Amino acid sequence: MSRVDELLKQMIDVTENIGLVVSEKKRAGKKVVGVLPIYAPEELVHAAGMFPVGCWGGAADISMATKYLPPFACSIMQSVMEYAERGVYKDLDALLVSTPCDTLKAISQNLIYACPDQKIIILTYPQNNKMEAGVTFAKSEFAKVKAQLEAIAGTIISDQAINESIEIYNDHRRALMEFSEIIANNPGVISAVNRHYVIKSGFYMEKLEHTKLVRELSELLKEKTNNWTGKKIVFAGIMAEPNGLLEIFDEFQLAVVGDELAQESRQFRTLVPEGSDPLERLARQWQNREACSVILDSEKKRAKHIATLAKAKQADGVVFCQMKFCDPEEFDYPSIKKACEDAEIPLLHLEIDQLSDSAGQYRTRIQAFHELLGN
Amino acid sequence: MSERKISSKLLLQKQQLDYYLDLNKARYNGRKVAWASSIVPQEFMEVMNIAVAYPENHSAAIAARKGALPYIDQAEKMGYSSDICSYARINLAYAGMKTNEMPPLPKPDFVVCTNNICNVLIKWYESLAQHYKVPFFLIDVPFNHESCGINEETTTFNPVPQDRIDYVKAQFEEFIQFLEGICGKKFDYEKFNEVMAISNRTAKAWSKAMNYASMAPTPLDGFNMFNYMAMMVCLRGKKESAMLYELIAAEMEENIQEGKSQFPGEQKYRVMWDGIACWPYLKHNYTNMLKNGVVISGSTYPKAWEIVYEVGNMDELASIYAGIGNNRNLADQRDIRAAIQRSCQCDGVIYHMNRSCKVMDFMQPEMRRQISEITKTPFVSFDGDQSDPKNFSEAQFETRVDALVENMQGNKEGSV
Ligand code: SF4
Ligand code: SF4
């Protein structure tokens, strides 16, 4: 097995065995906190000496989630509620949930009753994130989160500890930014499926460790020569899953050279700025975030951002992965379509249903898109 | 005494006409036009003499006239998924197409919303701002995930936490500056006090009038609340709307004295209606309930619009707008509903599982379970949509109402 394959294997293993990751942490005496999409001040969990684990849904047959949700809730939250009700989260000490969309407001509440043994920590980010009053408010919410985490961890979280965690997280973000840059410059050097594993595995590993693996992998990939003859695409949306979908892109030689997915780049593209007061730093990071479907975007910068990203990465097309029943994304679509048309970038709209494993429905559409991009 | 009097029904019609006339004349009178969400702090705009259009209200009116379909089709053509709230779809389509819809909404100089009912508004208003190329001001009221509790006696929510109040107050200040920039004149704080006083008078008159629905038997037909609400949305900063609700209250007093009710049938069962009306099927729903002797005695609306605060008290003003029911956590929303059901002596509850409204729907199943444990009141839910006629089945509604009636009947017989 090559070193690249070894590194990938480690990342795939954790991503495919989240339950195992959690139980090992618990056995080692660590407390574990589930972190729901899209944003959360995860640094605080880390600073409390606890292990944050991403809760991004997954494939599931929905039966028990119907206790809480009608069928028209986004598929990711359907599976979160299904898992919650089935006891998948039973080893977690707490769940950390922000409420940037209406669905998450409701999910934050339903989890209280579906997971009575877990502490549900909720925060609301200010939508007016550019205003100074928004920064003050974000700090106040973070302080409340911090107090609740302290109660669970049974320790006080010092400013120094948070500042140290911020450095670790920022470095992790940098490593992922470098990684995606290397892939963009060397398209096809890694499959779409593996690119996704590399990024996603960060939710299930200690950040220091993940940073190390990603950096090593990046170095190796940089060295690889690869004369790409296929086409290049960028992904937009909440997430590009399941694997079956990504495999079709690999099959048609469509290399992913960039993304603005909530699960990928939106997680790491904004660093926490310098400063001494750690909660203020986290609040300023929130202030700096933009071009996102769940943060006030009064000038619809996101649409332009996607077109610009595609141009900058010299992509041949944009694939908009519409999470089924996600209204913040549905609202953005017409403006994204227009921005891509204006920039003369072909756009493919795919509906993502995390619950269904069958990717067959996508093949014809992706094939047609591939043909549209020319050979 | 046979003095000539105008009925509240006529007055409401007249006020609606006057409102739209005034709105459409605004620009010619040198006034700025805003498009705003229903529970926006209109006080600030009233001070600046801005004419305010309310798209939710407009979409509801289109749907009630059974005119929604062309807009719904157009929205889809524009790329808006049919999953999106139908008020938004109708309005975005209306904005994007040529139409002779009456009454028209004049183009906005700016748009403003408060996300105290949902975050859909933020996305909707982003799109409007982009379409009209006008500024968008958001008054952001964070979801109140902490329990604040309710006042059982007054069936009102307690104030929201201070950090939220401070954040909202700071935005009020920015909003004032924003309006000064748009209008090119200073904000008149004296007038502000007057407007607040009038708005309070309207809110109290509304609440007094609507609370007649809680009497048993009720002199008020609860279904009328859906129509009465229009002027709470559009005109609550004006004296006229206070007069309307004072007139309704006077009519209710008369009804009580004469032993009459607006509800034309026998009041066999009193129910709480939870959710927005199904505008395209209002008549169907009403007829069906009337036939069964089911009268609406409770709803969240009377309290939702009881926007009462001490004049000049910015903390209270911020808290009341930030603390609207939809923006409360499940426990507080549950408790207020249980209190309403108690004070309105409801025999049952009809929940609208509204295809448009995720914020209300996704807490509903857990909430109705918990409420029924507290109140021991039977309930049904039906699938509908406030303005997309495609998402409703008459047969299902009828079956559900029948089932509820059967349950309520059983309870009544059991308790004799
Ligand atoms: S997928 Fe969309 S609707 Fe669902 S939780 Fe995420 S942002 Fe909200
Ligand atoms: S119906 Fe629901 S989603 Fe639509 S505007 Fe009203 S509160 Fe928001």
Name the 3-class secondary structure at B41. Answer: coil
pLDDT tens sequence across A172-214: 999 999 999 999 999 999 999 999 999 999 999 999 999 999 9
Over 50: is that where the pLDDT of A366 sits? yes
Angstrom distance (rounded) from CA A49 to CA A121: 17
A240 alpha carbon – ligand 2 mean position (Å):
28
CB-CB: which of B85, B170, B366 is closest to A110? B366
pLDDT reading at A288 higher than 60: yes
Could you tell which of B357, B358, B385 is best to mutate to test the pocket of ligand 2, judged by most ligand atoms within 8 Å of the CB? Answer: B357
The whole-angstrom separation of Cα A279 and Cα A139 is 6
DSSP code, position A252: T
Report pLDDT digits (tens) over B305-329. 889 999 999 999 999 999 999 999 9
Determine the distance separating the centroid of ligand 1 and the alpha carbon of B403, expressed in angstroms: 35
Question: Which residue in the set A123, A298, A337 is minimally distant from B129, CB to CB?
Answer: A298
Asked whether B120 lines ligand 2 (CB < 6 A), one says: yes
- Cα of A73 from ligand 1 centre, angstroms: 9
Lowest mean pLDDT among A278-282, A369-373, B412-416: B412-416
Chain A residues touching residue B82 (CB < 8 angstroms): none
A194 Cβ neighbours under 8 A, 6+ residues apart: A8, A12
Q: What is the mean pLDDT of residues B155-162?
A: 96
Ligand 1 center from residue B327 Cα (angstroms):
18
> Is A116 in CB contact (< 8 Å) with chain B?
no
What backbone torsions phi and psi does residue B138 show, to the nearest 5 degrees? -105, 130
Q: How far is the CA of B358 from the centre of ligand 1 (A)?
A: 11
Contact B359 A69 (CB under 8 A): no
How far is the C-alpha of A25 from the C-alpha of B35, rounded, in Å? 53
Question: Given an 8 Å threshold on Cβ–Cβ distance, is A131 in contact with B359?
Answer: no
Each residue of B244-288: pLDDT tens digit? 999 999 999 999 999 999 999 999 999 999 999 999 999 999 999
Exposure of A24 in the CB half-sphere (CA atoms within 13 A): 10
Cis amide linkage into residue B103, ω under 30° from 0: yes
Give the start-to-end residue ranges of the domains of chain A.
27-159
To test ligand 1's pocket by mutation, which of A56, A68, A104, A333 has the most ligand atoms within 8 angstroms of CB? A104
Which of the two residues, B301 and A80, has the higher pLDDT score? A80
For A275-340, what is the HEC assignment? CCCHHHHHHHHHHHCCCCCCCCCCCCHHHHHHHHHHHHCCCCEEEEEEECCCHHHHHHHHHHHHHH
Q: What is the mean pLDDT of residues B364-373?
A: 98
Please give, rounded to a whole number of angstroms, the shortest distance from the CA of B136 to a CA of chain A.
6
Give the number of beta-carbon pairs within 8 Å between A and B: 146
Nearest CB to B143 within list A105, A112, A140: A105
Tokens linked to B199: 């708005």
Residue B3 confidence class, pLDDT cut points 50, 70, 90: low
B79 to chain A: which residues are within 8 Å by CB? 333-334, 337
pLDDT at position B4, please?
67
Ligand 1 shell residues, CB under 6 Å? A 37, 74, 76-77, 101, 103-104, 238, 294, 323, 326-329
Q: What per-residue confidence (pLDDT) applies to B414?
A: 82
Q: Which residues of A touch B328 (CB under 8 A)?
A: none
- Per-residue model confidence (pLDDT) at position A227: 87
Asked if A304 is an interface residue toward chain B (Cβ–Cβ < 8 A), one would say: no
Which CATH code is given to the segment(s) A27-159?
A: 3.40.50.11890
Ligand nearest to the CA of A101: 1
What pLDDT, on the 0 to 100 scale, is given for residue B301?
83
Distance (Å) from the alpha carbon of A142 to chain B's nearest alpha carbon? 12
Token duo for residue A209: 């460790």
ipTM above 0.85, yes or no: yes
In whole angstroms, what is the distance from residue B144 CA to residue A105 CA? 9
Are A333 and B81 in contact (CB < 8 Å)?
yes
| A189 phi/psi in degrees, rounded to 5 | -70, -20
Q: Closest Cα of chain B to A10: distance in Å?
A: 38
* Distance from residue A154's CA to the centre of ligand 1 (Å): 32
Cβ atoms A69, A50 nearer than 8 A: no
Instruction: Tell which residue, B121, B156, B161, B155, has the closest CA to residue B137.
Output: B121
Residue B348 DSSP code: E
- Residue B185, judged by CB atoms within 10 A of its CB (0-12, 13-18, 19+), counts as exposed
Report the candidate in A32, A281, A57, A94 with the shortest Cα–Cα distance to residue A169.
A281
Q: Please check whether residue A141 touches B, CB under 8 A.
A: yes
CB A80 within 8 A of CB A107: yes
For the segment B31-61, what is each residue's pLDDT rounded down to a tens digit? 999 999 999 999 999 999 999 999 999 999 9
Cα gap B78→B210, rounded to integer Å: 40
Q: Which of residues 328-367 of A touch B (CB under 8 A)?
A: 328, 330-335, 337
Beta strands in B344-400, from DSSP E residues, in sequence order:
348-354, 379-384
Q: Mean pLDDT, chain A, as a whole number?
A: 96
Q: Report yes or no: A316 and A350 within 8 Å, Cβ to Cβ.
A: no
Amino acid residing at B133? K
Q: Does the predicted model carry a pTM greater than 0.90?
A: yes
Give the pLDDT confidence of B96-114 residue by residue, as tens digits: 998 998 899 999 999 999 9
